[in-house]
Chain A
Amino acid sequence: EAGVAQSPRYKIIEKRQSVAFWCNPISGHATLYWYQQILGQGPKLLIQFQNNGVVDDSQLPKDRFSAERLKGVDSTLKIQPAKLEDSAVYLCASSLAVSGPLTQYFGPGTRLLVL
């Protein structure tokens, strides 16, 4: 079974530029999550989708971050404009559904460096 796919794996940009990350969840998984992992910290949830609807985006900095999940499968996370403090690993995860204590499966992440 294929795991969660993410691209690119690495990205270097200058501040005020824009960047986009892509995620393809495990086939059949209805719920998709984006996390931000700053160096030395545990991952923090940015946004959670159930199919193509947003379940929780309370920690997403909406002035610069946006995310979409068209057709309830792939998802993109965008940052515009980027700030130095956005340097982090962006992790995508998926699970079968949103209710109950279901296991989340994580992708390899995209490492972003903002200069």
Chain B
Amino acid sequence: AQSVTQPDIHITVSEGASLELRCNYSYGATPYLFWYVQSPGQGLQLLLKYFSGDTLVQGIKGFEAEFKRSQSSFNLRKPSVHWSDAAEYFCVWAPGGYNKLIFGAGTRLAVHP
């Protein structure tokens, strides 16, 4: 079955430290990939997306992600985390380019001061 795996359920980092959230999708000829963030009481906000082209994509709030087809991965990174980044992060996959989104289970990020 088509699926998205986020292996880390919870991650805790110190403010100012670097961050990498892992994501793998099961298979797909032309994957369309997204990262969304969900803060408490807030709706899902798009951080960045990959459709084609440069495999390193830049997003909002200083986030970036790298698509690696050979590893079926789309990891999210940020060089220096801020306390306001504490939230839940979802890796999302649209297999085959259609608009049916498949969400990972999410990674909850906590930031220590």
Contact = CB atoms under 8 A, between A and B. Distances in A.
A31 B99 contact: yes
B100 A109 contact: no
B43 A98 contact: no
Main SS class of interface, A = loop
Nearest to B52: A101
Contacts of A91: 43-44
Contact of A95 (B44, B45, B99): B99
A43 B103 contact: yes
Contacts of A99: 98-99
Q: Please classify how large the interface on chain A is, using the bins under 10, 10 to 19, 20 to 34, 35 or more.
A: 20 to 34
Contact of A44 (B36, B42, B97, B103): B103
Interface string B1-26: 00010000000000000000000000
A102 B99 CA distance: 7
A56 interface: yes
B103 A101 contact: no
A106 B43 CA distance: 6
A101 B100 contact: no
Given A91-B44, A102-B99, A104-B99, A42 B90 contact: yes
A48 B97 contact: no
A106 B44 contact: yes
Contacts of B100: 45, 48, 56
Contacts of B51: 101
A93 B106 CA distance: 18
Interface of A: 3-4, 31, 40-45, 48, 56, 91, 93, 95, 98-109
